[in-house]
Each structure stands twice: as C-alpha cells, then as structure tokens.
Structure 1
Amino acid sequence: MDAPDAPDALAQAILRALADAPARDGTGVSLPRLGKQLGLGASSLMRELSRMGDATLGGVPGPGWVRLVQQDDRWVVHLEAAGRALADTLPR
C-alpha cells in the first residue's frame, strides 16, 4: 500500500465490496464470501486485510479501515468508520 490515504487497487476493491454489502446488524462479511466475490483466495485477502487494519507492521500503524475477527469457526471482515468514509470517496 502506498500510504494510509492512498489505497492500492486491491484495497479499493475490498473497501467497495464491504461498503456495498447488505447491512446485517454489524455482522460483517465472511472471508470466504468476500474472496468469492473478488475472485481471490483467503491467503491473498488475509495479507491485504492485515495491511488495512490497525495493526502496526514494520513500525508503521495501519489505517484502521477494516477489522478482521474470528467468530465461532469463521473469519469475518468488518468495515470500520474510517474505511466507510474512504469507500464513499472512491470512484465506482
């Protein structure tokens, strides 16, 4: 990723997909569903999502656009407020 305010093409696609997902009382989108929608495997998604979250990687804190949590036996991606604000500015 170039900078927290400049998402790459994959990050933009993820943000758009999460923003367009039907609202389900904050349940987020399952990783397999997101991967299928974007045509990507789980490992590719996990790598990009780790850069998009709030974790510090290489001494640089992430932008906090998404949150990845494990619920029961599945991984679920949530769009955070910063991610939604950014997604609203992305070209369609």
Structure 2
Amino acid sequence: LVNYPTETNYLTDTTSATGVLAARQACKNILYTVVNSRAYAEENLNPGLPTWQLIGYGIDAVLVLVLAALEIKAVKNYKRRVSEQPVVAVAEGEGAAE
C-alpha cells in the first residue's frame, strides 16, 4: 500500500468475497489512521520549523562561533610565540650533515 503504482498495489482477485472484504477493511483502516492522525488539524498546517529545531540551530551557530574564536586565539598565540623566539644563527660547517 503505497502512493505510487506498483504491481502489488492493485487488488487482483475480485472474485473472492474474503479478498474483497479484507481489501475493504484494509482501506478503512488506512483512511481511519490518516484522518485521526491530526494531519488535517489547523495547528499542524504550519510549514515552519519546530521550535526545538530552531533552538538546535542556534546552539550550533554559537558553538561554531566559539570554536572559531578559540582557533583564531590559538593561531595568534602561536605566531606571537614564534616571533618572540630568538633566531639562532648556525655557523658554516657546524651542524651540517656530512
């Protein structure tokens, strides 16, 4: 029972009373489920995102900003430490691999 045509989506044996009754009952059950699922209720027709999902997106955005700030701070500290280290000159012939 799907909403696109498939081979099993059609009732093939219409001569059997049992098969027809079972198909009617299945159809009734599906329609009953859809109607009582509140899919047609006015408050469920809102196409926007649920509040919990918006809150999740907000938390993700804040975490990304915090991580970006920490990364920028780490890079600046690294550059500062590298620039403060004294430059050691290596005399010619010393430390060269032979």
Normalised-by-shorter TM-score class: under 0.3
Taking structure 2 as the reference length, the TM-score comes to: 0.19
Larger gyration radius, structure 1 or structure 2:
2
**Larger helix share, 1 or 2:** 2
